Structure 1
Amino acid sequence: MSTMTVRMNEQDAELVRKFAQFEGVTISDFARTAILEKIEDSYDLQELREAIAQDSGERFSIDEVLTELD
């Protein structure tokens, strides 16, 4: 397992410590989760942009979708 160091001012560090404690997780678990969620959000945004670029504008009502599923 790798180790990474994050440098921040004392005010930010205290906020992170308090939030991790509030959530009942270690600072490492909190940081890992936050970093991975940020990466996932960025990936999701890119996927959305690609989907919008390829959108034909065609829409279906819920009734049409349900009929197609039957």
Structure 2
Amino acid sequence: MTVTSLRFKDDQYKQVKDLAKFYGISVTEFMRQTILEKINDENDYQDAMENLKKSHGETVKRTEILKRLNLK
């Protein structure tokens, strides 16, 4: 496990602290979850861009996707 530190302006830290309190978790856990969520979002975006590149911009209508997945 790695430990790191972050520096915030007082008003920024207060916002982080207030949000952590709102969610009922520690500041540390809030920051950890937020960072990991950002990483997941970035990975999803990169996957989507790669898929778009492989498809040469071809798109499929939502109704067709539902049909292919036997959801409609």
TM-score band, normalised by shorter chain: 0.7 to 0.9
Return the offset for 1:59: 3.8
Tell me the TM-score normalised to structure 2 length: 0.77
Matches of 2:6 and 2:66, distance apart in 1: 52
Indicate the residue corresponding to 1:24 in structure 2. 24
Q: Does 1:11 align with 2:11?
A: yes
* Higher Rg of the two aligned structures: 1
For 1:13 and 1:46, the matched residues in 2 are separated by: 30
Q: Deviations over 1:20-68 (max 9, x none)?
A: 00100001110000011111111111100000001152647368524xx
Aligned length: 66
In percent, how many aligned pairs have the same letter? 27
What TM-score, normalized by structure 1, do the two folds share?
0.79
Unpaired segments ≥5 residues, structure 1: none
Distance 2:43 2:14 in 1: 30
RMSD: 2.1
Q: Distance in 2 between matches of 1:6 and 1:38?
A: 16
